[in-house]
């Protein structure tokens, strides 16, 4: 048996192995391969025709360049988001089963019910987000826009269904994702042949739709309600190794396929008004491009929103960390589908969600603490806020008397909520915002202050301590950083709850936090709370210092004695102050003046603010009158905004500290000496060090926010007049000269030698850097190329090794032993040498090879590297600030003002997509597009019928006008779209970039019998001026006709109208052309016109004009997601007039003239031709009318008289008639008899004749016989001869 | 749910150009209030009105609303259309005032812009056309805006207060800008200049040249200052003279300085020698400030960086001018490319800040 079963070995006939063998065989035979054939028979391969060769070369080059795509910069993220796999197909085709099988294949988990997207880890480098797409056209359109791969299920037993083709068409319009067909229900075929045929037929149809050779997968049958494991496994393999081409729309827009939704609305609001707008957070992987906070997004099916907040979360379905190993272990096979109730632990900004079943990942326990603490802290608050506020005390300076709220009311002008603290070590002044419920912590802060002070003292004593200190600080900082983050988070949370922050506050806060982490020394205050307060204080202190110097120095001298750094800052500020008087302020001055103005505003309440800068300040320093009421708010803002400034100034101070250290230590009051010199120095330095620009630019608040408030708080005199105070520098700023020139404030004295020397190196004649110095480079080159060996002769040429290089070498060797940096430099040198050699080599061999295309590609690659490298080393928090959230991140997006129906009617089966909008894509305007009715759509489309477009992310209903362009560029309105031709369409709707594809459908609701996609096309233009025109004919009638001139009425209503059309071309219906000349006095609107011929009174005159048509401004987004569950595919917008008429049973009253009636034709009657006599006479005879008609009646005289007979005569005539009749009868009979007799006689005669002939014949016979006998005898005798005769 | 992008609101007329230009590029409407509200002569000035008119000419579908006193301006930008345009600029400001904004807008038109501007070519306030031609044009070329049709031509010179100058500017359309990496300014290899004089003695220009050379020769020998004496109808309506200097580095950076004489009837007469010397010193000052882009064009460079693709551009700038600073703040709230932000790094040396435009999402 076994032997029988075994196959015999078959030789390979094709493939590489067979070829190799064949080659070897040929070599054995000494025949060789192709190369040798060339050698063997060179003539056969010689150039036959130069022309043909050139042509073939040309062609190969053409083919080669055809393959090139324009190279683009590679922007794919290093950690790509999961691939969106859309499983699509008509109902009952096996979509859910397939998804379940795929999930089971990849994760070994079984999901019973699948709702929404499911994200799974499919391999080391790939994750998949699988989502099911039903046959609701809304869903199909949305998912086609985000799909990377479409698994298109086809019921083979049934064949293709409309949905499949519709979906393919949608895909084609919105960029073509990868499409893989899957045939199911193959087990229903009984005969193998039929199965094969069906497969082939379906495959070829599929190929014509997608592309020839598109992958079509066969799922042969079900086993226990699931597809066969092996087939699913293979399908999974296909999916995991698939490559994708970037799609333009997807790569240029950020988008998210949300896999989770939370309602964040205040429950109280919902309670009071269940229909209130909701605040919603959505979660998902960011795809496409970078997403910025506060950008515009569109949710298909819901509407446009502004992102109120974005934050990134740890990846819930992370790729495996290690890349080395071959396969995933069980722990790494994650599945994440929160809408289906599967997922791991999720960290939110304000909460952690733990799902206990189903997942393996994320079991770090320590991170759960924040919520815990939050709860604790909430529990532990006992007193109310008011009570806390009343009892709270504020310390302005660390050793000053704490101020209570009552002091505030008394003092009025001070800023009671700020607490200034000086960090001696770093020299920063910080402002602490103290508000009511931080009472207990403010107590701590005093302690911290003391600690800081002591630190500062130490610092003064020995500056060398500083570094150690910092290191220590870093150490400790790291230790409690983790804990601190939590605490801070908690605090923020509280704030969030209590105060409605301005939208930008959150992000700023984040930034702040990150900066804290970055700068280690900043964090060395013992408590994190302290950290922030101290920071704030610094800013305040600085500004305060200015005030002290200028206005109320003595009041707060205790603050001065506090620290040296205060003085330092004072000098700086002072300097800024002195210089900022000049009208045009430099960057730093602007900033300084801003600070200054802060002070002013805080000092005097009656000073009014006139510009946005002041508003910023106002925010920072709320009036005492407002303090009590909005204490919390104020302090809140304080934390955010002052810290920006503080950071801004920090660096300057750091710098200053080093410089001034020696002088400052000598005495507290020494700073007063040569103040002006220091001021000048400081100013120059400031001029040179740009302040922390990042903070200046990105830290400030938006402009012109609360202008109205200003007006309210302005002091009024008697309620009537306002005190108009001369605005100060801020006003200058608002209305000053708009000029881009950067004027030099303090020019250098360029006649001085040292000043000149300062820029001498900026010129080529100056000194060059080490690596660019010409002499150096020359020397280096010599070193590189100096030594060479002549291979031919074997001589070794030594480069002229200068004594200096040699000594260098020896020195280096010596040095190497001493310090390792020398070794590094040597290594570098070696590398440099290598690089140079490589460059040389490349230059030598690559020259000429590199084409334009290669160069371009290289450039792009370089740019891609640069892009990557730019932010590589930064942590995500900081990175997000600059480049936005990059694709691949798992983000949480908060959106406000979402209609409540979105939450109430939330159906996880429907995809929620957040599509980022580009620059002006949120705007609405006129869009021109090229459109073609779909060839499978049964009807044609009518202008002004509402239709639903899917363009960009959006689906919306609008009223398009169709037009066609005439040869002269005129855009003529069309009533209907052409049947098989492109036409133009214009509608009023969202601006979408040119070149974007779109499709149109008549209705998204319900099932329509035929193909649903009505038209497709592309956006051409966004021109805002409407140019569509329709034809308008004005008619008039002549009322007086001269020779070629006529007076025409009825075309216009007034002389003015006529005046507008003077010179216009008019025409009669019969084709006589003319021109409008001038208006007539009466009747109104009549005019004189000239024509090329005389008109008739019956003529109608008309003028052809073009009338611009306005596009209806109707834009109605399809809000299908807001419909109740189960009715999401029933959205219907504006109806067409036809639909309305049908619904209401209104019949259109047709114009009577356009009705069809039976055609009644009158008989045509022609008049006879009448030729005048004179003419007749003149005519030649030929043309004269001939009078040969019928003969007329015979005249009476010619007519014979009628004969009237007598009765006797009549009798005679009758008898004669009778007799003649008898006679003729008799004659007739006799003739007949005669005829018979003649016949008889003729017969007899014939008989006789016959007999006679017979007799004669017999006789003649007899005679001839005798004659014959006689002759024979004669003959016989003649034969006998004479003898006989003789006888 | 028709969404029209909400307008941005500003107060004061300062930086009007930047606000309007950025609004046009970003498509967001702006409202500017309190324009010289407290002034004795409130409202928009002639030159600003002329600028708004110019914007109207080069766009399609813009809506501009100005209240009766001219203190409030609402501007809803249309499409940048371009084409052949002529514009009479106000003589209160020089053509440079208008040209600076046009340089920002011209590459993004629908049709290539060909514009004739008439007015004052050189004055003491704005960067003159000469300087823009010498510095801004090469800067735009760095961004890939190039071609035959890219030119700036001074047809006639006009000095304040009379004006009468004429400038022709044409710019091709570029959808995609190249990212730039200008981090090394290189060393100055030559200095060029243009000493012009109209309706004064042609000797003036020569005197300017001599005095300017006397200063600059101490640094570099490769100096050439052209003298440009316009006559007849090409010389505008008012007399005047001036000098513009440009220093070119080995890496193609152009730094410039300029000075012009006082307008006729205003201020004391300026000696050409003094003017030449002072201008040379201004150039030295500019060199001292350093950077890869000179101070007048900083904001232009930054704008084009944000309008490029999603790629990282880097540029090294000297101390930022107030104009640039405000530009940065304005872009912050009026994102041209969505919320393009600059990654500003301060380098160790005191002189420079490095600005990096990260990947703004195109």
Q: In what order do the strands lie in the sheet with A127-133?
A: A216-218, A178-184, A149-155, A83-88, A127-133, A118-121, A335-336
CA–CA separation, B255 vs B249, rounded Å? 8
CA–CA separation, A151 vs A644, rounded Å? 52
| Mean pLDDT along residues A870-884 | 78
Predicted confidence at residue A771, as pLDDT, reads 65
Predicted confidence at residue A1227, as pLDDT, reads 96
Backbone dihedral angles phi then psi of residue B258, each to the nearest 5 degrees? -155, 155
B16 shares contact with chain A (CB less than 8 Å):
yes
| Confidence tier at A182 by pLDDT (50, 70, 90) | very high
Predicted confidence at residue A419, as pLDDT, reads 44
Model confidence at A1053: pLDDT above 50: yes
Question: A866 and B181: CB-CB below 8 Å?
Answer: yes
Question: B338 and A707: CB-CB below 8 Å?
Answer: no
Residue of B nearest to A724 (CA): B38
| Confidence tier at B309 by pLDDT (50, 70, 90) | confident
Q: Which of B96, B144, B257, B312 to mutate to test the interface with A (most CBs of A within 10 A)?
A: B312
A-chain CB neighbours of B336 within 8 Å are 919
CA–CA separation, A498 vs A172, rounded Å? 51
Question: B362 and A1025: CB-CB below 8 Å?
Answer: no
B-chain CB neighbours of A759 within 8 Å are 219, 284, 287-288
Please enumerate in sequence order all residues whose Cβ is within 8 A of that of A655, keeping only pairs 6 or more positions apart, or say none: A685, A689
Residue of A nearest to B309 (CA): A73
B26 shares contact with chain A (CB less than 8 Å):
yes
CA–CA separation, B66 vs A245, rounded Å? 50
Cα–chain-centroid distance for residue B297?
Answer: 6
CA distance B7 to chain A (A): 11
Predicted confidence at residue B186, as pLDDT, reads 87
| Mean pLDDT along residues A329-337 | 77
Angle subtended at Cα B85 by Cα B79 and Cα B89, rounded to the nearest 5 degrees: 105
| Mean pLDDT along residues A414-421 | 42
Q: Which of A738, A925, A986 to mutate to test the interface with B (most CBs of B within 10 A)?
A: A738
| Confidence tier at A368 by pLDDT (50, 70, 90) | very low
Residue of B nearest to A739 (CA): B126
Predicted confidence at residue A408, as pLDDT, reads 43
Question: A295 and B14: CB-CB below 8 Å?
Answer: no
| Confidence tier at A21 by pLDDT (50, 70, 90) | confident
> A409 near A627, Cβ under 8 Å?
no
Model confidence at A270: pLDDT above 70: yes
Q: Which tokens hold the place of A1278?
A: 């003649």
Question: A735 and B39: CB-CB below 8 Å?
Answer: yes
B187 shares contact with chain A (CB less than 8 Å):
yes
B328 shares contact with chain A (CB less than 8 Å):
yes
A-chain CB neighbours of B34 within 8 Å are 610, 734
What is the pairing mode between strands A971-974 and A912-916?
unpaired
Model confidence at A405: pLDDT above 90: no
Predicted confidence at residue A642, as pLDDT, reads 38
Q: Which residue has the higher pLDDT, A435 or A1165?
A: A1165
> A219 near A228, Cβ under 8 Å?
yes
A966-981: buried (b, 16+ CB within 10 Å) or exposed (e) per residue?
Answer: eeeeebbbbeebeeee
Nearest Cβ partner for B328 among A292, A586, A697: A697
Model confidence at A292: pLDDT above 80: yes
B287 shares contact with chain A (CB less than 8 Å):
yes
Helix/strand/coil for B164: coil
Question: B328 and A740: CB-CB below 8 Å?
Answer: no
DSSP label of A1187: -
Angle subtended at Cα B308 by Cα B303 and Cα B309, rounded to the nearest 5 degrees: 150
| pLDDT tens digits, A501-546 | 333 333 333 434 434 344 434 434 444 444 444 444 444 444 444 4
CA distance B152 to chain A (A): 19
Return the residue matching tokens 């998204």: A1004
Question: A923 and B5: CB-CB below 8 Å?
Answer: yes
Question: A696 and B325: CB-CB below 8 Å?
Answer: yes
> A962 near A985, Cβ under 8 Å?
yes
A-chain CB neighbours of B361 within 8 Å are 252-254, 289-292, 884, 916, 918
B-chain CB neighbours of A918 within 8 Å are 338, 361-362
Q: In what order do the strands lie in the sheet with B73-76?
A: B8-11, B30-33, B73-76, B63-66
What is the pairing mode between strands A226-227 and A796-797?
unpaired
Closest CA to A108 of A250, A229, A203: A229
Number of CB pairs, chain A paired with chain B, less than 8 A apart: 256
A-chain CB neighbours of B39 within 8 Å are 735
Predicted TM-score of the model (pTM): 0.66
CA distance A137 to chain B (A): 22
CA–CA separation, B102 vs B87, rounded Å? 12
Model confidence at A703: pLDDT above 50: no
| Mean pLDDT along residues A58-79 | 86
Range in A799-813, A1125-1139, B94-108 with the lowest mean pLDDT: A799-813
Question: A759 and B288: CB-CB below 8 Å?
Answer: yes
| Confidence tier at A1226 by pLDDT (50, 70, 90) | very high
A-chain CB neighbours of B70 within 8 Å are none
Mean pLDDT (chain A) is 73
Predicted confidence at residue A511, as pLDDT, reads 38
The complex's ipTM?
0.85
Please enumerate in sequence order all residues whose Cβ is within 8 A of that of A1187, keeping only pairs 6 or more positions apart, or say none: none
Cα–chain-centroid distance for residue A526?
Answer: 50
Cα–chain-centroid distance for residue A1266?
Answer: 135
Mean pLDDT (chain B) is 86
Residue of A nearest to B221 (CA): A765
B7 shares contact with chain A (CB less than 8 Å):
no
| Mean pLDDT along residues A739-765 | 82
**R_g of chain A computed on alpha carbons:** 54
Please enumerate in sequence order all residues whose Cβ is within 8 A of that of A1230, keeping only pairs 6 or more positions apart, or say none: none
Question: B26 and A744: CB-CB below 8 Å?
Answer: no
CA distance A1088 to chain B (A): 39
In terms of average pLDDT, the best of A102-116, A333-347, A660-674, A691-705 is A102-116
Predicted confidence at residue A782, as pLDDT, reads 60
B181 shares contact with chain A (CB less than 8 Å):
yes
A521 CB-contact burial (10 Å; exposed 0-12 / middle 13-18 / buried 19+): middle
Q: Which of B319, B326, B337 to mutate to test the interface with A (most CBs of A within 10 A)?
A: B319
Predicted confidence at residue A124, as pLDDT, reads 83
Question: A870 and B343: CB-CB below 8 Å?
Answer: yes
| pLDDT tens digits, A675-701 | 555 555 554 554 444 455 666 665 543
| Confidence tier at A919 by pLDDT (50, 70, 90) | confident
Q: Which tokens hold the place of B34?
A: 């309190």
Percent of chain A with pLDDT over 70: 62
Predicted confidence at residue A676, as pLDDT, reads 56
| Confidence tier at A785 by pLDDT (50, 70, 90) | low
> A85 near A129, Cβ under 8 Å?
yes
The Cα-based distances of A1214 to A85, A1205, A1218 in angstroms read 124, 12, 6
Model confidence at A655: pLDDT above 60: no
Question: A763 and B322: CB-CB below 8 Å?
Answer: no
Question: A735 and B14: CB-CB below 8 Å?
Answer: yes
| Confidence tier at A384 by pLDDT (50, 70, 90) | low
B214 shares contact with chain A (CB less than 8 Å):
no
| Confidence tier at A215 by pLDDT (50, 70, 90) | very high
Question: A924 and B338: CB-CB below 8 Å?
Answer: no
């Amino acid at each position: 048996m076994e032997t029988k079963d075994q196959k015999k070995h078959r030789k390979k006939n094709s493939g590489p192995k067979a070829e190799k063998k064949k080659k070897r065989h040929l070599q054995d035979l000494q025949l060789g391969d192709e190369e040798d054939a060339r050698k063997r028979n060179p003539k056969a391969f010689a150039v036959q025709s130069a022309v043909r060769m050139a042509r073939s070369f040309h062609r190969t080059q053409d083919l080669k360049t055809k393959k090139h795509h324009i190279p683009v910069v590679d922007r794919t993220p290093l950690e790509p988001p999961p691939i969106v796999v859309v499983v699509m197909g008509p109902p009952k085709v096996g979509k859910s089963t397939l998804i379940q099988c795929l999930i089971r294949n990849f994760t070994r988990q079984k999901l019973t019910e699948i709702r929404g997207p499911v994200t799974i880890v499919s391999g080391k480098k790939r994750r998949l987000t699988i989502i099911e797409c039903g046959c609701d056209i809304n869903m199909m359109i949305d998912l086609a826009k985000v799909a990377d791969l479409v698994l298109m299920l086809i019921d083979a037993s049934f064949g293709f269904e409309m949905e499949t083709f519709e979906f393919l068409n949608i895909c084609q319009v919105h960029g073509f994702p990868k499409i893989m067909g899957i045939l199911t229900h193959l087990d229903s075929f009984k005969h193998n042949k039929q199965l094969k045929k069906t497969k082939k037929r379906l495959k070829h149809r599929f190929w014509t739709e997608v592309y020839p050779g598109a992958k079509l997968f066969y799922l042969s049958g079900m086993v226990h309600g699931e597809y066969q494991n092996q087939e699913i496994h293979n399908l999974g393999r296909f999916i995991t190794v698939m490559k994708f081409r970037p799609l333009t729309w997807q790569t240029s827009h950020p988008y998210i396929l949300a896999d989770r939704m939370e309602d964040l609305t205040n429950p109280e609001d919902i309670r009071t008004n269940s229909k209130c707008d909701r605040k919603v957070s959505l979660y998902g992987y960011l795809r496409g491009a970078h997403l910025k906070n506060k950008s515009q997004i569109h949710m298909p099916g819901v509407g446009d929103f502004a992102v109120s907040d974005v934050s990134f979360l740890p990846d819930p379905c992370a790729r495996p960390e290690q890349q080395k190993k071959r396969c995933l272990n069980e722990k790494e096979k994650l599945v994440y589908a929160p809408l289906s109730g599967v997922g791991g632990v999720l960290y939110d900004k304000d909460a952690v969600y733990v799902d206990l079943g189903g997942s393996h990942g994320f079991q770090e326990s320590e991170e759960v603490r924040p919520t815990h603490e939050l709860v604790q802290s909430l529990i532990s608050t006992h007193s109310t806020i008011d009570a806390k506020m009343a009892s709270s005390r504020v310390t302005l300076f660390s050793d000053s008397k704490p101020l209570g709220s009552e002091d505030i009311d008394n003092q009025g002008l001070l800023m009671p909520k700020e607490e200034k603290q000086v960090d001696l070590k770093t020299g920063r002044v910080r402002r602490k915002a103290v508000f009511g419920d931080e009472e207990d912590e403010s107590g701590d802060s005093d302690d911290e202050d003391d600690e800081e002070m002591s630190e500062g003292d130490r610092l003064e004593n020995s500056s060398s301590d500083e570094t150690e200190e910092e290191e220590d600080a870093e150490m400790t900082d790291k230790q409690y950083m983790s804990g601190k983050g939590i605490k801070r988070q908690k605090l923020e949370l509280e704030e969030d709850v209590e105060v409605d922050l301005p939208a930008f506050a959150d992000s700023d806060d984040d930034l702040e936090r990150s900066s804290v982490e970055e700068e280690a020394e900043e964090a060395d205050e013992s408590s994190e709370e302290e950290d922030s307060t101290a920071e704030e204080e610094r800013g305040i202190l600085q500004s305060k210092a200015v005030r002290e110097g200028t206005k109320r120095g003595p009041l707060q001298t205790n603050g001065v004695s506090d620290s040296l750094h205060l003085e330092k800052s004072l000098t700086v500020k002072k300097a800024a102050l002195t210089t900022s008087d000049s009208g045009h302020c430099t960057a730093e001055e602007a900033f300084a003046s801003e600070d200054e103005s802060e002070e002013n505003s805080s000092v005097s309440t009656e000073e009014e603010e006139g510009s946005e800068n002041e508003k910023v300040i106002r925010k920072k320093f709320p009036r005492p009158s407002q303090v009590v009421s909005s204490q919390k708010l104020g302090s809140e803002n304080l934390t955010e905004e002052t810290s920006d400034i503080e950071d801004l100034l920090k660096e300057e101070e750091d710098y200053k500290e080093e410089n001034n250290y020696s002088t400052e230590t000598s005495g507290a009051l020494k700073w007063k000496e040569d103040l002006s010199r220091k001021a000048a120095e400081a100013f120059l330095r400031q001029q040179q060090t740009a302040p922390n620009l990042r903070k200046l630019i990105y830290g400030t608040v938006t402009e012109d926010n609360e202008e109205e408030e200003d007006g309210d708080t302005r002091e009024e005199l008697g309620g009537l007049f306002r005190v108009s105070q001369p605005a100060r520098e801020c006003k200058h700023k608002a209305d000053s000269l708009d000029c881009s020139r950067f004027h030099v404030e303090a020019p250098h004295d360029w006649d001085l030698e040292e000043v000149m020397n300062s820029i001498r190196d900026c010129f080529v004649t100056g000194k060059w850097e080490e690596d660019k110095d010409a002499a150096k480079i020359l020397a280096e080159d010599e070193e590189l190329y100096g030594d060479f060996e002549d291979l031919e002769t074997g001589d070794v040429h030594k480069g002229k090794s200068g004594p200096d290089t040699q000594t260098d070498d020896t020195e280096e060797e010596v040095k190497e032993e001493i310090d390792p940096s020398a070794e590094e430099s040597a290594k570098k040198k070696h590398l440099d040498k290598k690089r140079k050699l490589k460059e040389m080599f490349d230059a030598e061999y690559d020259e000429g090879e590199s084409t334009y295309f290669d160069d371009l590609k290289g450039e792009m690659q370089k740019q891609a590297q640069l892009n990557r490298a730019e932010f590589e080393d930064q942590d995500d928090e900081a990175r997000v600030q600059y480049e936005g959230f990059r694709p691949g991140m798992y983000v949480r997006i908060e959106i406000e003002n979402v209609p409540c129906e979105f939450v109430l009617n939330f159906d996880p089966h429907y995809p929620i997509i957040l599509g980022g909008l580009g620059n002006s894509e949120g705007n609405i305007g006129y869009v021109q597009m090229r459109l073609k009715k779909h060839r499978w759509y049964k009807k044609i489309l009518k202008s002004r019928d509402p239709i639903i477009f899917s363009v960009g992310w959006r689906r919306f209903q609008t009223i398009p006008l169709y037009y066609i362009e005439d040869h002269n560029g005129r855009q003529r309105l069309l009533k209907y779209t052409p049947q098989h031709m492109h036409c133009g369409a214009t509608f009023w709707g969202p601006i979408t970039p040119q070149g974007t594809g779109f499709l149109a459908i008549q209705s998204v609701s319900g099932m329509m019998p035929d193909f649903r996609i009505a038209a497709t096309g592309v956006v051409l233009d966004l021109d805002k001026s409407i140019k569509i025109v329709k034809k308008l004919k004005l008619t008039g009638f002549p009322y007086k006709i001269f020779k070629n001139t006529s007076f025409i009425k009825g075309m216009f209503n007034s002389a003015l109208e006529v005046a507008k059309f003077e010179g216009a071309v008019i025409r009669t219906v019969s084709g006589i052309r003319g021109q409008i000349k001038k208006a007539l006095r009466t009747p109104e609107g009549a005019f004189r016109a000239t024509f090329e011929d005389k008109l008739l009174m019956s003529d109608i005159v008309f003028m052809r004009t073009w009338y611009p048509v306005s596009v209806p401004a109707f834009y109605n987004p399809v809000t299908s997601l807001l419909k109740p569950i189960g009715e999401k595919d029933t959205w219907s917008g504006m109806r067409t007039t036809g639909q309305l008429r049908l619904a209401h049973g209104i019949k259109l009253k047709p114009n009577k003239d356009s009705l069809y009636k039976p055609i009644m034709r009158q008989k045509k009657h022609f008049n006879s031709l009448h030729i005048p006599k004179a003419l007749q006479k003149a005519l030649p005879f030929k043309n004269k009318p001939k009078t040969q008609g019928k003969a007329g009646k015979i005249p009476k005289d010619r007519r014979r008289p009628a004969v009237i007979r007598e009765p006797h005569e009549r009798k005679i005539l009758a008898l004669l008639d009778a007799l003649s009749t008898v006679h003729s009868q008799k004659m007739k009979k006799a003739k007949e008899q005669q005829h018979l007799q003649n016949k008889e006689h003729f017969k007899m005669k014939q008989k006789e004749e016959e007999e006679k002939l017979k007799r004669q014949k017999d006789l003649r016979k007899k005679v001839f016989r005798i004659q014959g006998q006689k002759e024979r005898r004669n003959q016989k005798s003649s034969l006998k001869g004479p003898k006989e005769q003789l006888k | 749910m028709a969404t029209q992008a909400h307008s941005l609101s500003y107060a004061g007329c300062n930086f009007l150009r930047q606000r309007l230009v950025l609004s046009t590029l970003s498509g967001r409407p702006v409202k500017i209030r309190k324009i010289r509200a407290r002034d004795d002569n409130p409202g928009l000035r002639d030159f600003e009105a002329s600028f708004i008119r110019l914007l109207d000419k080069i766009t399609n579908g813009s809506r501009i609303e100005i209240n009766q006193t001219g203190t409030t301006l609402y501007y809803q930008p249309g499409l940048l259309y371009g084409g052949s345009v002529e514009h009479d600029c106000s003589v209160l400001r020089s053509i440079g005032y208008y040209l600076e904004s046009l340089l920002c807008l011209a590459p993004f038109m629908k049709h290539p812009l060909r514009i004739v501007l008439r007015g004052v070519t050189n004055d003491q306030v704005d960067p003159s056309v000469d300087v823009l031609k010498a510095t801004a044009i090469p800067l735009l070329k760095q961004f890939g805006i190039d071609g035959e049709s890219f030119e700036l031509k001074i047809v006639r010179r006009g000095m304040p207060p009379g004006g009468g100058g004429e400038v022709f500017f044409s710019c091709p359309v570029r959808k995609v800008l190249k990212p730039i990496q200008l981090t090394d300014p290189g060393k100055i290899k030559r200095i060029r200049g243009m000493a012009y004089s109209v309706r004064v003695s042609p000797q003036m220009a020569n005197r300017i040249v001599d005095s300017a050379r006397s200063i600059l020769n101490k640094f570099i020998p490769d100096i050439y200052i052209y003298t440009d004496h316009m006559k007849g109808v090409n010389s505008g309506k008012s007399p005047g003279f001036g000098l513009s200097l440009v220093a070119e580095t080995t890496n193609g950076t152009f730094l410039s300085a300029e000075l012009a004489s006082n307008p006729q009837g205003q201020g004391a007469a300026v000696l050409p020698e003094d003017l030449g010397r002072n201008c040379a010193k201004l150039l030295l000052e500019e060199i001292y400030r350093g950077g890869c882009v000179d101070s007048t064009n900083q904001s232009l460079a930054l704008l084009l960086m944000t309008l490029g693709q999603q790629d990282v551009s880097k540029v090294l700038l000297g101390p930022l001018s107030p104009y640039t600073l405000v530009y940065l703040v304005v872009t912050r709230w009026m994102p041209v490319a969505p919320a393009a932000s600059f990654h500003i790094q301060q380098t160790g040396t005191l002189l420079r800040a490095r600005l990096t435009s990260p990947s703004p999402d195109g």
